[in-house]
Amino acid sequence: MATMRDGYGGDADPAPSGGTKNRAEYQKVMNRYKKAKGRWQNWSDIWEEIYDYVLPHRESFFGEYAGQRRTENIYDETAVTGLPRFASRLQLGFFPPNGRAFKLAPGPEYPQDQINSQVLRELDDITELLHEGLRNSNFNSEFHEGLQDLGIGTMNMLVESGRFVGDLHFTAVPPNNVALLSGAMDQVTDWFRWNYDCEITDIKHRYPDAKYSKDMELIQKRDPHRKTRIIEATMFDSDDKFKDEYTYYLISETDNHILQQQKLKGKGSLPWLTTRWSKSGMEVWGRGPVLQAMPAIKTLNLTVQLILENAEMAIGGAYVYDDDGVFNPDNITIQPGTFIPRSPGSTLESLQSPARFDVGQLILEDMRRNVRKAMYIDELDSRANAKTPLSATEVSERLADVARDMGAVAGRMQKEFLHPLVERIVYIYSKQGILDIPKVDGREIRIVPVSPLLRAQDQQDVADFVRFQQTVSGTFGPDITPALYNQEEVIRYLASKFGVKEELLASRDEVQGNIDMALQLMQQQRGQ
């Protein structure tokens, strides 16, 4: 969101030059910003602790520490290494890098008699164009970063047009740099992103459409390196909660001035994609599995720390020796290499450590198992606890189990990320004139998820149908069973569940004719 490129929104309105209107608009934005920042403050301490223990190299909440070590307090790497694995498995489940995550299909209102191979081919070409745009962009890397944030609770993704036509640019914004507000139907309506370390001279480089005030122009000439607090606000701006209308503001908080104001209208005009893992009550921010596992993660780190300290004692040793003086416990420190005085006549002996390393190891394994379970590491990893490679059926069954455990999350991903993502890319490409969605009488095109995790339920539906067919065949006999089905619809039903392109199937008349011929041939062979 560094620049307002074509494809971000509609026509840009110049920033108000001053007066009552400008002050009122500025105050409206700042009031919303302060409200969002106040809610953000309620979470900041929690997030800082989580990121210190689990994702230390992501971002810092209270200043930039580029190049500094952030792992001094981490003694166990279960959560640190587990979260990237969690994100990688989710990425393979939702958006496989070399596969398809979705496809475009005619909506329910699309005239069925006008759905032909040409329409399906056009939609398939558009689907491939959208996936190609994702593959040629930085989507995979940023999506992986965003999924790690989602594991903590909330993923915020910016989707913008790139420098050239057809380019897409994605930015996974960590929670330390964005504040949110929700509105009707508990959906996120306002986004606020800040930059407190922007030199006034750099504003025009980062935001080419920014308009300085007269005072800012003088300051730029007099003190070009002065730091300026910049706030980017994207706010819902409509009386109708069902309309997609927003306003983008670029504000210099230091100078109390609106640098840029832009209207965003239409489906897909919003550049922000916000996805929550789960929600509690009316909270705008999500709660992820890492948040739930934090007590175990902190205890795990403390246990490993104690084990290491006792291991140091066991290796270095502590000793007792004869002393003619008076024993003073205040002067004794129990640490490796310590010599402790004792009564005369005694010999030098090593002090035995009371530590139980076997008990510590049992506690560690139990807590590590709990952390992995909370982060779905073993469930998402098809290789976990598998002595031999899993078959396709076993993988499908495992994905179906995961899909049932993560049903609510998968639903949120589809509603809050997948659909808005496709709409956003379509909007950008349409603005650039490289995409035209086929429509008949204004009928909409629907987005169908085809990623492995979202289609796991489809595989379960197929398994249920097979079991039903086996039951019917065992009850009425294999000869009667085919007559109980609409064979043509069964073929198309199974094709849709397996993700087979419909244009690869024969026409409805051809399918029915081929089925009749096959049944007749089967009956003749059995008669003989």
Q: State how far the alpha carbon of 83 is from the alpha carbons of 157, 275, 300, 485, in Å.
A: 18, 17, 15, 47
Q: Residue 19: count other Cβ atoms within 10 Å of its Cβ.
A: 8
Torsion angle of the four alpha carbons 509, 512, 516, 519, in this order, in degrees rounded to the nearest 10: 150
pLDDT at 338 (0 to 100): 67
pLDDT at 11 (0 to 100): 38
Amino acid letter, residue 334: I
What is the reported pTM? 0.80
List 193's β-bridge partners, or say none. 178, 232
DSSP per-residue codes, 434-475: S-----STTPPEEEEE-STTTTHHHHHHHHHHHHHHHHHHHH
pLDDT at 451 (0 to 100): 82
Q: State how far the alpha carbon of 311 is from the alpha carbons of 151, 307, 335, in Å.
A: 34, 6, 11
> Is 443 within 8 Å of 109 (Cβ atoms)?
yes
Phi and psi based region of residue 194 (left: phi greater than 0; alpha: psi -120 to 50; beta: remaining) = beta
Rounded CA separation 174/105 (Å): 34
pLDDT at 277 (0 to 100): 94
N- to C-terminal Cα separation, the chain:
74
Q: What tokens were used for 60?
A: 């810092």
> Is 157 within 8 Å of 273 (Cβ atoms)?
yes
Q: Residue 518: count other Cβ atoms within 10 Å of its Cβ.
A: 12
Q: Collapsing DSSP states into helix, strand and coil, what is residue 505? A: coil
Q: In what order do the strands lie in the sheet with 245-252?
A: 12-13, 257-265, 245-252, 227-236, 188-199, 178-182
Q: Collapsing DSSP states into helix, strand and coil, what is residue 430? A: helix
Mean per-residue pLDDT pooled into runs of 10, the chain (528 residues):
43 45 88 95 92 81 55 83 90 84 82 73 90 94 95 96 90 94 87 90 89 89 91 92 91 93 93 93 91 90 81 65 56 65 60 58 79 79 56 61 74 91 94 80 77 73 82 79 75 76 68 70 68
- Orientation of helix 456-476 relative to helix 392-405, angle to 10°: 110
- Closest CA relative to residue 187, chosen from 268, 267, 265, 241: 241
Which residues are within 8 A (CB) of 307 and not within 5 positions of it... i.e. 6 or more apart? 355, 357, 360, 364
Three-state SS letters, 266-293: CCCCCCEEEEECCCCCCCCCCCCHHHHH
> Is 286 within 8 Å of 409 (Cβ atoms)?
no
Q: State how far the alpha carbon of 57 is from the alpha carbons of 177, 195, 301, 377, in Å.
A: 15, 19, 18, 21
pLDDT at 241 (0 to 100): 79
Q: What tokens were used for 3?
A: 């620049």
Q: What tokens were used for 126?
A: 């558009």
pLDDT at 332 (0 to 100): 64
Give the DSSP H or E segment for 528.
Answer: none
Q: What tokens were used for 103?
A: 């496809």
Torsion angle of the four alpha carbons 434, 436, 437, 443, in this order, in degrees rounded to the nearest 10: 150
Q: Collapsing DSSP states into helix, strand and coil, what is residue 320? A: strand
Long-range contacts of residues 484-488, Cβ cutoff 8 Å, at least 24 apart:
487/511, 487/512, 487/515, 488/512, 488/515
Three-state SS letters, 362-391: HHHHHHHHHHHHHCCHHHHCCCCCCCCCCC
Q: What tokens were used for 445?
A: 């095109």
